[in-house]
Every structure is written in structure tokens, then in C-alpha cells.
Chain A
Amino acid sequence: MDTLDQEKIADIREIVYNFFSEECDIPQAKITDNTNIITDLEGDSLMLLSLLEIFRKKYGLSIELKSLGKHLMKKPANTIGDVVNLTVQIVRHGDNILNVDM
């Protein structure tokens, strides 16, 4: 993993943390990678799609929801850390995420 990747991962992490902090009205300091999106933050699918839209604009993502849905059925994104990892993989692989072992 090169330096650019590390910078991008840090950027993605910051966006995810900021997003859920604002959406769920919770101080960012109370959110960790282990925070559960459903049980701890009362998050839902619209939040995840809104977050994806932010990344679509920022990185020009071209993933289709059908691919993402199939991926999430195999590997659910339950925690903030899962969402960060998922977003990193989407930015890297787009629709090929289905063929990637995470």
C-alpha cells in the first residue's frame, strides 16, 4: 500500500466519522471503529446511500447498487470500521468489489 493510499484511507475515515457524527448528532469523540451503526447510532440504508453519494461526487465512484447489495449480503457493514473498509474497497475496485476478498 503506497503513501497515496494511506492518505486516501485517512481522508475516507475522516469523512465517514464526520458524516455519522453530524447525521446522528453524536460527538465524533464518541464514535470508534467498533461503533455499531444500527444499534449504537440508529443508522439506516438512507444514511449509507447518502454517504456513498458523498464519495461518488468526491471520487467519481461508478458502483451499482446491485453489486453493492450483493457484496453486503456476503459481508454486512455493521460497524463504522466496516463502513470505512467497505468505502476503501469501493473506491479501489468499484463494481469489481464482488470479486475481492475483504
Chain B
Amino acid sequence: METTFSTLTCEAPGPLIGCGIDAERISRFLRYTAGEAHPMPFVFSSREIRYSRSSASPQRSLCASFCCKEALFKAIRAPYDFPVCELFWDGGATGDVRISRAVRRQYDINEAVARVAEIASDDELVVTVFLFGPSQASPGT
């Protein structure tokens, strides 16, 4: 499901409770695309590895996924186990970010949105993660 939101139309899925950003060079992830074994089990989930290997550019997929995990770390300002935050990115402006129920409950996250963009060169990705809390009733309703 793709979530869209706009600061102009107040279409955010709830109050913004956190935001984190991270950037990495895509070429650094090339080493993790070779071989059959899971390259970094304490960073990537098995589903992310399968997804990346089926994508046109596995290193871009892994790079975006790693940036998303780092961005979530910055947004919640606390360590967590990286595989519980997964990003499935098909090359568009947003990725499908999935965070475990335990982490969402712990930090009161109702929805997470990941924006992915190339910066500076073709070899660098930046991912911004926005975290939204539960919707609140408007005043007077």
C-alpha cells in the first residue's frame, strides 16, 4: 500500500512523531549480492534478501533497505534489531516499509512512510523515514 501525504492538504495519516534520514553509496552493497548465503542476517531479513535478489539492481535495493533501518534508528533514537524493519523498494519515490508490531507498539507508531531518492550521483541513495502516531480526533469533534 502506498501512502501519500501532503503538508499543504494535511493528509498525513496521523501526527508526525518522528523523522530520520540516512544516505549511503550503492556500490558499498555490491559485495552482499554475490553467493547463495544470507549476507548479513543481523541486518537484513530473509524476505529483504529474496526481494533484493529478484530486483533489477540488488545492491540498490539493499542500500535503500539499510538506509531505511538507519533512518528508523535515528527517528526512534534507540537501538533495535535491524531485521524487524524491512524496506521493499521498487525504484519509485516511496518504499514499502514494514516495522514489527513490537517496535510499532513500543514507540506508538501507527504508520511509517519511507521516501527514497538519489542524491549527488547515481551511486548514492538517501532515505527519509516519517513516523506517524495514532490519528487523533479534530478539536470540537
A-side interface residues toward B, CB under 8 Å? Answer: 45-46, 49-50, 52-53, 56, 63-70, 72-73
Contacts and interface: CB of A to CB of B under 8 A. Distances in A.
A68 B82 CA distance: 11
A65 B84 CA distance: 11
B70 A45 contact: yes
- Contact count band on B: 10 to 19
Contacts of B24: 46
Nearest to A61: B42
Interface residues of B, dominant DSSP: loop
A65 B42 contact: yes
A3 to B, nearest CB: 30
Interface residues of A, dominant DSSP: helix
Contacts of B43: 49, 53, 65
B82 A65 contact: yes
B66 interface: yes
Interface string B17-51: 00000001000100000000001111100000000
